[in-house]
Structure 1
């Protein structure tokens, strides 16, 4: 499929998805939103792809919803049929909404945040599994400055990542923070110079693609995103069931073999 507002490229076993509206700071449109979901699901279905890197063209990651489109949206648009998907019994309903589908992707998603991540741009970064920021990155919730509210699950996600006090501060003040402040509060995993951002993200993706079992990554990602809904007992029960299955997997056999034979792993993801 060809795309108008994103770029989809491959770097080995990594799918690189780039927001490609640099003249509008990669502000989100219906077209970009639809293309992004298609690209993430396309990467998720491809057995040759083992990780996804999400970044922005130009000086921004994603500056949120394009205000020209925001002003035209009728109140019922958020529940319009075009944004609904058939219920997937293999995914939590929580991770099948319009913007919360990243956690349901079977591959790890790395946001390489090259510049401004605001509003929905920040929401998408929060739903990613890793966040690497350029020294030039800035972050803002922005909603309160637009007369809006904490939308699309950010009031659930943000406190779990940065704590209640920091989440309250960022949401109610809508103030901007820089990359080092984001690192201090745990909003991002690491901060790197701008020219090292994509290489750093791709290096992490290669680690996830070649040095660890993609089957293990897939299962553990699901465990992590399921955990907020579970009791400790339920989490242990799921882990016990998954451990039994993993001991019978090809990747477990290979994991033991490459360690004993002192060679590079050749995981299949099975």
Structure 2
């Protein structure tokens, strides 16, 4: 289901670690949670390896887009709570109160200068759905099961998801999903805006590859970086503050090499060759 220039989401990545595989060779970096037998349930070690792999992708100059997905039939089924790893041990180091967003467990997803895409290829539950929600864009296979089951486990909405979910889907939907703790599928999630695009399983991989390739070839890395900064800043800005910032950024954008490249490409009816980071 992939053309000669793309690789399967979870089969062609070189082995980098036991719990997270990564392929940083192309413009789209692919990070794969690699515990297929546990539907990629999160452990502290996987969490740490994911951060390291993500930061490596962020630092790779040729990388323009960062894709996170899961091996096998699941994205991430939640925190691993097996008998050999009790919840208390799994929480070690994850409950520290962050002073800055970069110290927050998944803060690197929000502050990254490159677009982050969650390819939700199966179940995304609890912390797995938090991980996907903190990415910039979410693509999902239509039959993926999703949920925030905290209320049914005697827990609370963790890792800032009450704030993030409210921004994504509105207060009413966020309230219902978090208080009920119910499961829902990707098609319903698309309806209320949590999932950006849905595809059937037999064409999901092809769709994800096409979508990420389009971002990496048609969009200016500089533009995407600045737009991400604008979106993050908008959480605490007034409208006028955001408008003033956009005015300053627009002036700089019109003086950039990427803007010139886009104009030349339109005139010559070809894809642009962006050079700025």
Instruction: Specify if TM > 0.5.
Output: yes
Q: Does 1:139 align with 2:108?
A: no
Please give the secondary structure, in 1, of the residue aligned with 2:89.
coil
- Does the residue aligned with 2:146 lie in a helix, a strand or coil? strand
For the aligned residues, what is the CA RMSD? Answer: 2.0
The reply to whether residue 255 of structure 1 matches residue 232 of structure 2 is no
Matches within 5 A, 1:47-58: 47-58=61-72
Aligned residue number for residue 90 of structure 1? none
User: 2: distance between equivalents of 1:70 and 1:98?
Assistant: 19
The 1:97–1:107 alpha-carbon spacing in structure 2 relative to 1, beyond 3 Å, is: same
Is 1:219 aligned to 2:235, yes or no? Answer: no
Of 60, 77, 89 in structure 2, the residue corresponding to residue 73 of structure 1 is: 89
1:221-261 CA distances to partner (integer Å, 9 max, x unpaired)? 11112111100111112112211221221101111111112
1:61 match: 75
What are the superposed Cα offsets for residues 147-205 of structure 1, whole Å, 9 maximum, x if unpaired? 11001000101111111111111111110001211111111011101122222122111
Whether 2:243 is the aligned partner of 1:236: answer yes
SS in 1 for 2:259: helix
Cα separation, partners in 2 of 1:111 and 1:164, compared to 1, 3 Å: same
1:1-270 to 2 correspondences below 5 Å: 2-10=16-24, 12-68=26-82, 69-73=85-89, 77-79=93-95, 93-270=100-277
Structure 2 residue runs of 5 or longer lacking an equivalent are 1-14
Output the CA distance in 1 between the equivalents of 2:92 and 2:27.
39
Shift of 1:75: 7.3
SS of 1:102's equivalent in the other structure is helix
Q: Which runs of 5+ in 1 are unaligned?
A: 88-92
State the 1:74 CA deviation.
Answer: 8.4
**What is the alpha-carbon distance in structure 2 between the residues aligned to residue 34 and residue 259 of structure 1?**
43
For the 8 Å contact 1:44–1:105, the answer to whether it is kept is yes
C-alpha change, 1:59 and 1:186, in structure 2 (3 Å) is same
In 2, Cα distance between equivalents of 1:11 and 1:166: 39
Listed one character per residue, the Cα deviations across residues 103-153 of structure 1 (whole Å, up to 9, x for unaligned) are 111111111111111110010111111111102201110111211100100
